[in-house]
Amino acid sequence: MPDDSASSPVAAASADDAAAVGAGARGSSRGLIWLVAAAFFMQALDSTIVNTAVPAMAEALGVTPLGMRTALTSYVLTLAILIPASPWLCDRFGTRRVFGAAIAVFGVGSLLCGISQNLPQLVASRVLQGIGGASLMPVGRYVLVRSFDKREFVHVMATVATFGLLGSVLGPLLGGALTEFASWRLIFLINVPVGVAGLWMNQQDMPDYRLDRAHRFDFLGFLLFAAASALLLTASELVGGERVVWRLIGACAALALLFGALYVWHSRRAPHPVADLSLLRVRSVWVSLAGNLFTRLGVSGMFLLLVLFLQVGCGWSPLMAGLMMVPQALGSISAKWLINRVLVRFGYRRLLLTNTLVVAVLLASFALFGRETPMWLIALLVFVYGSFMGMQYTAMNTLIYHDLDIRHAAMASSMASTAQYLSMSFGIALSTLLMESLLRGHAHEDYIVAFRWTVLILAAITAGASRIFSQLRPDRPATAAARAA
């Protein structure tokens, strides 16, 4: 069992960490919040706007809707693989340069996505988007942790996340409207002007945190981690291929486990590992990462499945399907403003243990839907589900910093973002593979039946994550939340 005693790595900061300085702290707190919020908005808009356009994109590119998962998972996996490099990049080049370069590359990738002519081109462009996006969220979180004390941090994160959720509100609407009345290509091109505005704000408001002397980058560890992650996703993609070659799938999975084990061995010997596994000795860190991983494994593909259920199974238009995604974002926004009070009353353990089970029950409730289900009932369940998921995400994302010294914030932010996106990529792959394996034909009713069984399986996986959160120590709620806030 991991130990969160005083002997944890939190108590032992390096001399390099102590030398960290904010060389350009000229940005105002309000401007910084707006900047990070704009980056979160751009990423949220991009991820949610794509879901409603998947059927139209699949038709235009000549693939099946479920076959579009490669365009979704390639982006998310690129984020997961490259995020561990963000702490070193910040130390070496400064947060202002790294954040600005990330916005620029993300914008160029969006432009190339908008002009892609086939699925391989789209996948390559999504990878470029992921290269830029890999630094947006971890650097944004890291700068907020460095710029605000713990009492303000949860409130600031809730504020920033709210703007990201506004992107989630506009995403389905824009995705549906642009797909139905214009072209799906515009869903990527709208990121370009947002990126230009973000570059200007970055020069004005981003503080330039960096180390006087950055340590050497753990290139070997980075390669081992990237290889293990890519091979695991490759194995899952091969399972869903037209011709399943189990020998090749087994080889990819075995190599992934080998590279993963080699990384664990390497990280214990490297002076500055790309992901510091010694932080897992802190209870709140390993619970946050493991809980994030298994929760998102169950829920990450849900709204892609719901879009396919509504458009392909029920025959809804892209715009109407997009409208059904809006209540989820509105529910998440409403929950963000309650998280402080709920944490004060219940604490992390009781909140996450109970909330995870509620999310699983709500997820299973989607199996009751059919072609005749009233629109208002779907919207109501989507809103309630979004509310509890908003609570879940904020609690999981702030838990990792609960018992950590500020000097480990960059590494913790990188590890949290990596776990988040890695689990999202596998969650999307898992959900689409489940639905594809349960699909007995291509009639409307076949999609509905496959959707029902898939969400029941995903609900069971999500419920299992509650066991992980039960490993948190019982705390006095008011004290625990005050320390986190």
Residue ending a domain, among 240, 273, 306, is 273
Query: Using one digit for the tens of pLDDT, what is the confidence trace for 28-74?
Result: 577 788 888 878 777 777 777 777 778 888 888 888 777 777 787 78
Higher pLDDT, residue 227 or 1: 227
User: pLDDT at position 262, please?
Assistant: 92
Indicate if 241 and 294 belong to the same structural domain: no
User: pLDDT at position 419, please?
Assistant: 78
Alpha carbon separation from 423 to 100, 258, 294 (Å, rounded): 26, 19, 7
Structural domain containing residue 228? 218-273
Indicate if 191 and 314 belong to the same structural domain: yes
- Which of 72, 42, 121, 39 has the alpha carbon at shortest distance from 307? 72
Q: How many domains does the chain have?
A: 2
Indicate if 316 and 422 belong to the same structural domain: yes
- Which of 157, 189, 194, 198 has the alpha carbon at shortest distance from 49? 189
CA 10, CA 344: separation in Å to the nearest integer? 24
Indicate if 170 and 231 belong to the same structural domain: no
User: pLDDT at position 258, please?
Assistant: 92
User: pLDDT at position 150, please?
Assistant: 66
Among the residue ranges 79-83, 350-354, 456-460, the one predicted with the least confidence is 79-83
Residue % of the chain over a pLDDT of 90: 9
**Please, which residues have CB within 8 angstroms of residue 387's CB and are 6 or more apart in sequence?**
331, 332, 334, 335
Indicate if 138 and 105 belong to the same structural domain: yes
Residue ending a domain, among 258, 273, 288, is 273
CA 477, CA 344: separation in Å to the nearest integer? 5
2 falls within a domain: no
DSSP for 108-129 reads HHHHHHHT--SHHHHHHHHHHH
Angle made by CA atoms 455, 457, 458, in degrees to the nearest 5: 60
User: pLDDT at position 408, please?
Assistant: 73
255 falls within a domain: yes
Indicate if 227 and 327 belong to the same structural domain: no
301 falls within a domain: yes
Most confidently predicted of 168-172, 273-277, 308-312, 398-402: 308-312
Indicate if 291 and 222 belong to the same structural domain: no
Which tokens go with 364? 């299973």
Question: Are the beta carbons of 86 and 414 closer than 8 angstroms?
Answer: yes
Indicate if 182 and 327 belong to the same structural domain: yes
Q: What is the mean pLDDT of residues 275-300?
A: 82
Query: Using one digit for the tens of pLDDT, what is the confidence trace for 386-423?
Result: 889 888 888 887 788 777 766 677 677 777 777 777 78
Indicate if 129 and 206 belong to the same structural domain: yes
Among the residue ranges 140-154, 292-306, 355-369, the one predicted with the least confidence is 140-154
**pLDDT surpassing 50 at residue 291:** yes
462 falls within a domain: yes
Phi-psi region of 369 (alpha: psi -120 to 50; beta: other; left: phi over 0): beta
Indicate if 296 and 262 belong to the same structural domain: no
Residue ending a domain, among 273, 290, 306, is 273
Higher pLDDT, residue 101 or 322: 101
- Which of 209, 148, 214, 207 has the alpha carbon at shortest distance from 15? 214
User: pLDDT at position 243, please?
Assistant: 59
Say what the pTM is.
0.71
Q: What is the mean pLDDT of residues 291-309?
A: 84
Indicate if 231 and 309 belong to the same structural domain: no
Which tokens go with 217? 């980058």
CA 396, CA 381: separation in Å to the nearest integer? 22
Find the CATH number of the domain harbouring 142.
1.20.1250.20
Indicate if 137 and 223 belong to the same structural domain: no
319 falls within a domain: yes
- Which of 110, 65, 87, 68 has the alpha carbon at shortest distance from 14? 87
Most confidently predicted of 213-222, 269-278, 446-455: 446-455
Residue % of the chain over a pLDDT of 70: 85
The pair phi, psi for residue 210, each rounded to 5°, is -165, 170
